[in-house]
Homo-oligomer: A and B are copies of this chain.
């Protein structure tokens, strides 16, 4: 295939090609031949650089964590700081939460790369391997914490209560669904693909639900 540009070194090209092929076909279904072909590299380079197919898989998990951290990290840090500040008003938390949701949709639904790593991550959710530890510790855990610090006070729930955790995951699902049920959503909306305008519609719908949930926790 040799689709990927051969500028970066073979090691990096292999990781990016592996992300694509592992995502599409799973661990067993992905062949080292297909990955090497996609990367424009030799098959023998995989045992050479990563010790084997498993090592390459784990390297892909680290690469995904890097990508998501680079994209969402700044926003999550800002949200965390704001949430920790005692001077922050409920209205500011409210706005910060909506901004976080907008950014999450942009990354998760709006980028082509997300189509690649989402499959990888979902697979790990169903059948966790060592790669799940990497993703949870570096991406999911920190993301949850930032959201919980923002949303807990708005919902009037204890920071470490199970009910807060479950309500937050449920809220996260409101955004995840646009990636995880993409095919069904596109078919129902009679869309062929998500466009920037349609992403705005998605953000607006998500905002409407979030505002309802956040406002219900507010004293009148």
Q: Which residues of A approach B to under 8 Å, CB–CB?
A: 24-29, 115, 118-119, 122, 124-128, 132, 136, 140-141, 144, 162-163, 165-167, 169-178, 180-185, 187-189, 201-202, 204-206, 208-209, 211-213, 215-217
A177, closest chain B residue (CB): B173
Q: CB within 8 A of A212: which of B29, B206, B215?
A: B215
Q: A122 to B185: give the CA distance in the assembly, Å.
A: 13
In the complex, the answer to whether B212 meets A216 with C-beta atoms within 8 Å is yes
In the complex, the answer to whether B24 meets A184 with C-beta atoms within 8 Å is no
In the complex, besides A165-B189, A212-B212, 6 extra interface pairs with C-beta distance below 8 angstroms are A25-B26, A125-B182, A125-B183, A126-B183, A140-B184, A176-B181
What DSSP secondary structure best describes chain A's contact surface? Answer: helix
Q: A183 to B172: give the CA distance in the assembly, Å.
A: 14
Q: Which residues of B contact A169 (CB under 8 A)?
A: 177-178, 181, 184-185, 188
In the complex, the answer to whether A184 meets B27 with C-beta atoms within 8 Å is no
Q: A170 to B201: give the CA distance in the assembly, Å.
A: 12
Q: CB within 8 A of A213: which of B26, B163, B166, B212?
A: B212
Q: Which residues of B contact A184 (CB under 8 A)?
A: 125, 136, 140, 144, 169
Q: Which residues of B contact A181 (CB under 8 A)?
A: 125, 169, 172-173, 176
Q: Which residues of B contact A182 (CB under 8 A)?
A: 125-126
Q: Which residues of B contact A119 (CB under 8 A)?
A: 126-127
Q: Which of A163, A166, A201 has the most CB of B within 10 A?
A: A166
Q: Could you list 15 A-B pairs, sorted by A, with CB under 8 Å?
A: A25-B26, A27-B29, A29-B29, A125-B181, A140-B184, A140-B188, A141-B188, A163-B204, A163-B205, A166-B202, A169-B184, A169-B185, A176-B177, A176-B181, A209-B213
